[in-house]
Structure 1
Amino acid sequence: MNLPNSEQLPVSKLAASFGNTSATYKFYWLLGIVELVEEGETTIPKRKLFARMIANPWYTVNYFHVSFGKQDLIQQAVQTVLEQEGLTIDLKKSNLLAVLENSSLKSTQQTLQHFNKNVPHWFLSPWFGKTVSENDAAYRKRIYASSQTFENDCLYALYDDHIIINPKWVTYLQANAKVLKDFIYWNLTLFLQVRNPNVPDIANKLIRPPFRGSLTNQRKNYWDIFFKELGSVDCIFTNTPLTIDRYALDHFVPHAFVSHDLIWNLVPIDKGFNSTKSDKLPSMDAHFDGFYRLQKQAFEIVHHYNSRNKLLEEYLTLFPELNSVDQFDYGRFKEEIQPLVTIAHNNGFGYL
């Protein structure tokens, strides 16, 4: 993916900012700049940008548990703020920014200020190459001084507590804000996918979705058919009797990990338990057999009543040749589910 060209600006320098990246700092730093310039700000307090470096990955870290890698302190910073400020993972971004920008808590201030050590000046390195004789301190000092005259048409001028966007860049940033954000997220997806090779759908875990999809279709056109046939079954987690008007539909492997609502990962459970289960993982030893049994029974019933039910096609990702319940293989199903549970646990999802 390429950035929009400009004959007046060194766009290649901006693109090169992600050339040698070992952490996510630069992605979230530029994202914060683009967001604020899009809102009309050109003289920007650093704390506002540091706050966005925490707020933008908030859901990625706390809900989806995507790993940023051992060298990256943003993940640790997000988790520290969550704990120290006593916040919730579903806090609105505007409310989170208000906390971060105004908190008097020393630990939060230190967490934000940590980003000032390297991020603001290293981002400008494509505009200001480091000489062989320079140490890091001298290089940092030179970038600060040179940027304040917008030398080499650099993106912004650096000061102790704020930056000033180069007037030459303002129109470009505002006019191409959407493309720039797509460029950032595209590069961030590539960066994180390498560090999370077995985690599905990284691209859709970078921002908080505006809403979770409804499971009404899966309930009405699949599981309700199951209950109409059997009347009642026991919850695989609580052994509570479930009926057509007394069950919740939930993801066996948490939605926060799989990021989909495919029918083969859904299971009816006790409503009360569902409200407390959160994104905890099931125990394969304690819960898989019950899950498999309900899945197989539901497939057999729905297939019997309507073999062309569209939801049955979703099993083809597990069983490419599935045409009858005889092919609903226990071992194959477990081989597909077990790695998902293991990987999710390795990424920070806890067990029930």
Structure 2
Amino acid sequence: MQIPQSQTLTTRCLSRIFDTTSATYKFFWFLSILQIHARTENLHINVWDIVIRMVANAWYPIHYFRLSFGKNDSLFDIVTELQKETQIPIDASCEEVIGQLQERLRDKQVKSRLGKLTTYVPYCFLYPWINATNNSREVMWRSQSFENGCLYSIYKEKTNFYIELNPVWDEYLHTHYKILMDFTYWNLMQFLQVRNPNVPAISSKLIRPESRSSLANQHRYWNKVIQIGGPVRCIYTGHELHPSDYELDHFIPWSFVSHDLLWNLIPADGSINSSKSNYLPHLDIYLPKLAKLQHHSLKVSIQAGYQPTILEDFLSLGYTPKEFVLMNEEEFLEVYRRTFGPMHQIALNMGFETWKY
């Protein structure tokens, strides 16, 4: 993905900011600068505001989706340590994390953690413009003349540490804000995909969603199945479930799969979602029960001539709904073992914990 080019700005240097990236800090540094500049329109930006927003932007992909940032990523360690020390919820919004960290900035431990991001990040980001590798002081004083039209200058005083955006970039950053954000997220996605090769939907795990998709169609399907075939039993509690008297459960947590496909959704007792949360179900106990209930639902639906569009979700498992109906229970269970076994193991490797009722 390319950024818009300019005849007067050093966009060639800007397009190279992620060329030699071995950690995530440059991505989150640039994202945070773009966001602060867009919100405040200030050219003068406090470095502590930037690093706090870096942590907030990395919070959700690390804590909720459990993405790996790589073996030696300092931002990952800092975000993880800060959550343990502050007890900010793992699913807190970006603005909630920012607010709480700003309130705790006087805490020596918190400031020390954040301070690690101020040591190299502001300087390394400018290397495409200012070639002074491993010499932060030189980068700082050369940046103050906006050498080579660099994006910002750096000022570090006793009680004031800030960057000053180069005024010539001001209009460009505003005009192309969305493209620059997409450029950064696209590069971040490529970086993380390499480090999470078996994790699905990396692109949907970088930003905390404002709201989750409605499950109205999935509820409608299960209500109809229960109306036609009679009550079903919760695979966890064994309680009998009736139309609209249940909650839908993502068998493998949504925070891992990031989808609402029907083959991973089942009606469950209302008490389950809060206790199961983002835990993984014990496969030996619950996978056969899941497969049996899903197979039952397909038989009831197909045999009654009820074939809503949502049944197409099963095509992603390699068979049509009608082909699934023709299978016996053991054949259907084997498809589910092949599907859920690898996902379950990858999620375990990422740190998801196992649960049983």
TM bucket, shorter chain: over 0.9
The question of whether the paired residues in 2 share the 8 Å contact of 1:240 and 1:270 is answered with yes
What residue number does 2:250 align with? 251
Distance across 2 between alignment mates of 1:298 and 1:227:
8
Offset from partner CA, 1:267-296 (integer Å, 9 cap, x none): 111101212221110111111010000000
Distance across 2 between alignment mates of 1:168 and 1:245:
59
Q: Which 4+ stretches in 1 moved above 6 angstroms? A: none
Query: Secondary structure, in 3 states, of the residue corresponding to 1:261?
Result: coil
Distance across 2 between alignment mates of 1:273 and 1:329:
25
Residue type matched to 1:153 in 2?
Answer: G
Distance across 2 between alignment mates of 1:213 and 1:170:
36
What residue number does 1:233 align with? 232
Q: TM-score, normalised by structure 1?
A: 0.94
Q: Percent identical across equivalent pairs?
A: 38
Alignment of 1:200-239 (within 5 A): 200-220=200-220, 222-239=221-238
What residue number does 2:351 align with? 348
What residue number does 2:300 align with? 301
How much does 1:320 deviate?
3.0
Alignment of 1:175-214 (within 5 A): 175-214=175-214
What residue number does 1:77 align with? 78
Distance across 1 between alignment mates of 2:166 and 2:34:
13
The question of whether the paired residues in 2 share the 8 Å contact of 1:280 and 1:351 is answered with yes
What residue number does 1:108 align with? 110
Query: Secondary structure, in 3 states, of the residue corresponding to 2:243?
Result: coil
Distance across 2 between alignment mates of 1:182 and 1:153:
23
Distance across 2 between alignment mates of 1:216 and 1:311:
11
Distance across 2 between alignment mates of 1:14 and 1:165:
13
What residue number does 1:284 align with? 283
The question of whether the paired residues in 2 share the 8 Å contact of 1:303 and 1:312 is answered with no
How much does 1:255 deviate?
0.7
Query: Aligned Cα RMSD in Å?
Result: 1.5
Residue type matched to 1:275 in 2?
Answer: S
- In structure 1, list runs of 5 or more residues that go unmatched: none
Q: TM-score, normalised by structure 2?
A: 0.93
The question of whether the paired residues in 2 share the 8 Å contact of 1:27 and 1:188 is answered with yes
Which of 123, 128, 131 pairs up with 2:130? 128
How much does 1:94 deviate?
1.9
Comparing 105-114 with 254-263, greater Cα deviation is found at 105-114
How much does 1:309 deviate?
1.9
Query: Secondary structure, in 3 states, of the residue corresponding to 1:56?
Result: helix
Offset from partner CA, 1:294-324 (integer Å, 9 cap, x none): 0000011111123532122111111335424
Query: Secondary structure, in 3 states, of the residue corresponding to 1:323?
Result: helix
Offset from partner CA, 1:32-72 (integer Å, 9 cap, x none): 11111112121111100000110112111111111111111
What residue number does 1:65 align with? 66
The question of whether the paired residues in 2 share the 8 Å contact of 1:231 and 1:244 is answered with no
